[in-house]
Amino acid sequence: MRIVHTVEFYHPRTGGSQEVVRQLSELMVQHGHEVTVATTACSDRPQKLINGVRIAEFDCQGNAVRGMTGEIQKYQDFIAGGSFDVVMSYAAQQWATDALFPILDQIPYRKVISPCGFSGLYDPAYKQYFADLPAILAKYQRLIFHSDTYRDIEFCRSNKLANIEVIPNGASAAEFNVVDPTFRSRYGIPANRPMLLTVGSHTAWKGHEEAIAAFVAAKIGAASLVIIGNTNASLGCLPRDHVASKWVRWRSLGRRQVFLLNPPRADVIAAYHAADMFVFPSNIECSPLVLFEALASKTPFIANDVGNSREIAAWSGSGMIIPTHPKPGAPPGYCQCDIRTLTAAIEELLGDKPRRAQMAAAGYEAWRTRFNWEFLATRYEAAYRNEAADPLR
């Protein structure tokens, strides 16, 4: 097949959407398909062919609500006039998807979309966007969702849309089957010291503040918390995380330490393998990749009840879910947990080694058989070919 994937940002940019599309694109190339990714131009991408995937860059910004600027017409002409067999647009509410809505009838080949959460569904500014969306989505031959329960799929069901399929997210076997045991020694974390891990960009919405607060309050003795994330220059929590990390070390006389890291990908994977548990009190999600990465590394997780984290815990048997409530001062749909509840969960799970071992084994087996990208890519290929959907796994 000749496939074009559209996504707002792509490698070397990092993030959940970028990782999903990268994994699918590179695996489909390995399976013999011709794959092009249409995405935002960036200066740190000198090559337009990455691991066999062709990159088509466009200088575009915005979305249908905020307005779209740049090479929108050039992008629309590229997609409508391309000699592709299928287009898959990943994530709504950004230009690479929204710019195609007016020209869907002009695209002469198969159209697939993975909306990825509908983060603006409760935002009054998006009222007309979502009023118009059912008629737009009806023009796609397949609608792919990562959850059987989240608000994006429920929105489509309530509007009686057909051609719905659930394909969960996952983690890469090629990455996580390689275990580097040196992470603790290289970062000065004793082998016998409990290590908690969280991974998420410093956007102020990934729960770093809550993770640090619960880490400080937990009665777990000497311990380390590793926070891995890149920085968002326009909206972030990194400065206050720096202050908090120093305060934790001072307050605990060095028995507790918070590491703020933005290491190479290999070290991110090594950190998963080195951790005793993964803590993820994020304020908003769709289907967080980091939880599947925890499964792949045999690391039990504690996560806020956001996105489909509860569903992932049920699928895998490897997670504890923390109840949430609306986050004061945040946009509609954002939530937070009670710190005391998160603290108690950390104490409970860290103190129960047999339970953690059982969760780790169950999560790993679920990932090995159902939630690895190598398997999931074949399900996307079947959807692209219009084959009957597999039952939800």
**Per-residue pLDDT tens digits for 110-128:** 999 999 999 999 999 999 9
The answer to whether residue 185 is domain-embedded is yes
Q: Are residues 197 and 243 in the same domain?
A: yes
Q: In which domain, by residue range, is 309 found? A: 175-370
**pLDDT, tens digit, for every residue of 308-360?**
999 999 999 999 999 999 999 988 889 999 999 999 999 999 999 999 999 99
Give the model's confidence band at 252: pLDDT under 50 very low, under 70 low, under 90 confident, else very high.
confident
Q: 32 vs 21, 36, 98, 112, 248, CA distance in Å?
A: 17, 13, 29, 20, 51
Ordered alpha helix ranges (H), the chain = 16-30, 72-81, 95-98, 127-137, 151-158, 173-176, 183-187, 208-217, 238-251, 265-274, 289-296, 309-316, 339-350, 353-370, 373-384
- Shared domain for 162 and 30, answered yes or no, is yes
Give 12-39 pLDDT, tens digit per residue.
998 899 999 999 999 999 999 999 999 9
Q: Which CA distances in Å does 68 have to 59, 62, 75, 89, 322? A: 11, 4, 12, 17, 38
Q: Is residue 363 part of a domain?
A: yes
Q: For 233, which DSSP code?
A: S
- Give 232's pLDDT tier (boundaries 50, 70, 90): low
Asked if residue 45 belongs to a domain, the reply is: yes
The verdict on pTM exceeding 0.75 is: yes
Q: How confident is the model at residue 135 (pLDDT cuts 50, 70, 90)?
A: very high
| Identity of the residue numbered 88 | M
Is 95 inside any structural domain?
yes
Output the pLDDT for position 389: 62
Q: What angle do CA 146, 143, 72 make, to 5 degrees?
A: 105
Residues 158 and 184 in one domain: no
Write down the pLDDT at residue 236.
75
**Beta carbons of 359 and 345 less than 8 angstroms apart:** no
Contact 208, 237 (CB under 8 A): yes
Q: Which residues of 179-205 are buried (b: 16+ CB within 10 A; e: fewer)?
A: eeeebbeebebeeebbbbbbbbbbbbb
Q: What mean pLDDT, rounded, does the chain reach?
A: 94
CA 275 from chain centre, in angstroms, equals 20
pLDDT range class, residue 392, cuts 50, 70, 90 = low
Band of pLDDT at residue 388, cut at 50, 70 and 90 = low
Are 204 and 248 in a shared domain? yes
What is the enclosing helix (H) or strand (E) of 303? strand 301-304
Give residue 238's pLDDT.
80
pLDDT given at position 245: 81
Higher pLDDT pick, 148 / 246: 148
Tell me if 393 is assigned to some domain. Answer: no
| Dist. CA 17–CA 64, nearest whole Å | 19
pLDDT at 233 over 70: no
Contact 97, 118 (CB under 8 A): no
Q: CATH code at 83?
A: 3.40.50.2000
For 177-212, what is each residue's pLDDT tens digit?
999 999 999 999 999 999 999 999 998 999 999 999
Q: How far apart are the first and last CA of the chain?
A: 25
162 plus 286 within the same structural domain: no
- Residue 2 tokens read as 């000749």
Q: Provide the token pair at 202.
A: 């410093």
**For residues 390 and 278, which has the higher predicted lDDT (pLDDT)?**
278
pLDDT on residue 350: 97
Q: With pLDDT > 70 as the criterion, what percentage of the chain qualifies?
A: 97
Question: What is the phi/psi pair of residue 321, to 5°?
Answer: -110, 130
